[in-house]
């Protein structure tokens, strides 16, 4: 019998729609608890039929829960949720229900095996042994509680596109780096230098550990609120990955071009297909043209170039 784990997010009611949107990217089967209108909804109900416990709930808070089997890698889902809420600047309490604290980090590892994301890159868990075939590039990962193990569709889509669009000697920017997986992939594909940033200090700590594990000293990871602390390079980055969420990509659309070379490439993902058109339109309004795209299991990844350089 599968073991189910509940990821429970509690926050102010005003953030309910945004939290629901983020959680729905993990799974559409959500449980939402919102007691802000409980008195209005119960108006006219006989008092003795109203549960006192219901009336005592905090009306200012909303709770959104998602239930996942262990084989879905709950640790990665947790990293995804916490990272996206941080990027949206939503203060929230995130709980794990259904597994003990000491078992949480290891409970899913038995399901996490080497994953080939494209023609060359293979993401290998640190605790697994893997003998690469000719031409394969191994990227070792210990994701901890950060997002990015290669199991999520958005990570695989971006890694695949990096194989196609990154050239040896390129300078790469990874916005919302999570575990550092994409920047490390870029370095192993031949990038000259990679700047990886994330708003979550825990993610940056994990990324730095993975940089050391993979012996890729040309990758630098720093804490940054989107592009606020991003290091600019002479001539601009040749390639930029933003595997975040639609709202955050739209928010950074007016500024991202300042960091990318005139003939550079922008890869965006973390976008559900229903919001792909909206996201691409926002980027088009800021001088970007979609030149390639990938879709998998309801997720969208796009490749864009500056309109003037086409």
Q: What confidence score (pLDDT) does residue 149 get?
A: 59
Lowest mean pLDDT, pick from 49-58, 221-230, 249-258: 49-58
174 lies in the same domain as 289: yes
pLDDT tens, position by position, 131-165: 888 889 999 887 665 555 566 788 889 999 999 99
Exposure string over 12-39, b if 16+ CB within 10 A, otherwise e: ebebbebbebbbebbeeeeeeeebbeee
Banded pLDDT at 23 (limits 50, 70, 90)? confident
Q: Which helix (H) or strand (E) holds 107?
A: helix 101-107
Q: What is the dihedral of CA 244, 249, 251, 257, to 10 degrees?
A: 130
Q: Is the pLDDT of residue 192 over 80?
A: yes
The CATH code of the domain that includes 273 is: 3.40.50.150
According to the model, what pLDDT value does residue 241 have?
Answer: 97
pLDDT at 254: 95
Distance CA 157, CA 162 (A): 9
Domain boundary among the residues 107, 128, 160 is at: 107
For residue 102 the two structure tokens come to 């000491």
- pLDDT value of position 297: 82
The verdict on 265 and 200 lying in the same domain is yes
Pairing of strands 61-69, 93-97: unpaired
Q: What is the arithmetic mean of pLDDT over 209-219?
A: 95
What angle is formed at CA 168 by the lines to CA 166 and CA 171, rounded to 5 degrees? 70
The DSSP line for 223-244 is E-STTTTPPP-TT-EEEEEEES
Are the C-beta atoms of 141 and 181 separated by less than 8 Å? yes
Is the confidence at residue 70, as pLDDT, over 80?
no
What's the number of domains the chain is made of? 2
DSSP 186: H
96 shares its domain with 139: no
User: What pLDDT shows up at residue 191?
Assistant: 97
The mean pLDDT value of the chain amounts to: 83
**pLDDT digit string, tens, across residues 172-186:** 999 999 889 999 999
> What is the distance between the alpha carbons of residues 305 and 310, in angstroms, rounded to a whole number?
7
The confidence score (pLDDT) of residue 51 equals 44
Selection from 31, 3, 10, 185 nearest residue 100 by Cα? 3
278 with 210, same domain: the answer is yes
Say yes or no: 143 and 287 in one domain. Answer: yes
68 and 83 in a common domain: yes
Predicted local distance difference test score (pLDDT) of residue 141: 84
- Please check whether residues 21 and 75 belong to one and the same domain: yes
Provide the domain limits for residue 202. Answer: 113-309
């Amino acid at each position: 019998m599968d073991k189910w784990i509940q990821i429970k997010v509690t926050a102010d009611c005003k953030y309910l729609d945004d939290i629901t949107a983020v959680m729905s990217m993990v799974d559409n089967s959500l449980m939402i608890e919102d007691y802000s209108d409980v008195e209005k909804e119960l108006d006219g109900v006989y008092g003795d039929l109203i549960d006192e416990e219901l009336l005592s709930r905090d009306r200012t808070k909303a709770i959104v829960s998602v239930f996942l089997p262990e084989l879905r890698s709950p640790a990665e889902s947790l990293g995804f949720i916490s990272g996206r809420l941080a990027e949206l600047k939503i203060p929230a309490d995130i709980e794990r229900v259904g597994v003990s604290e000491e078992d949480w980090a290891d409970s899913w590892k038995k399901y996490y095996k080497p994953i080939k994301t494209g023609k060359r890159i293979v993401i290998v868990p640190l605790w697994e042994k893997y003998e690469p075939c000719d031409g394969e590039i191994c990227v070792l990962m210990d994701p901890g509680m950060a997002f990015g193990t290669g199991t999520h569709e958005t990570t695989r889509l971006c890694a695949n596109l990096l194989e196609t669009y990154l050239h040896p000697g390129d300078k790469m920017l990874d916005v919302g780096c999570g575990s550092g997986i994409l920047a490390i992939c870029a370095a192993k594909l031949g990038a000259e230098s990679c700047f990886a940033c994330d708003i979550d200090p825990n993610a940056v700590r994990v990324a730095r550990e993975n940089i050391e594990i993979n012996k890729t000293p040309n990758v630098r990871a720093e804490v940054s609120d989107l592009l606020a602390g991003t290091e600019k390079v002479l001539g601009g980055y040749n390639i930029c990955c933003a595997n975040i969420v639609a709202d955050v990509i739209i928010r950074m659309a007016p500024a991202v071009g300042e960091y990318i070379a005139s003939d550079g490439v922008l890869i965006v993902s973390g976008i559900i297909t229903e919001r792909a058109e909206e996201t691409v339109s926002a980027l088009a309004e800021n001088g970007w043209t979609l030149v390639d795209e990938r879709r998998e299991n309801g997720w969208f990844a796009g490749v864009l170039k500056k309109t003037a350089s086409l």
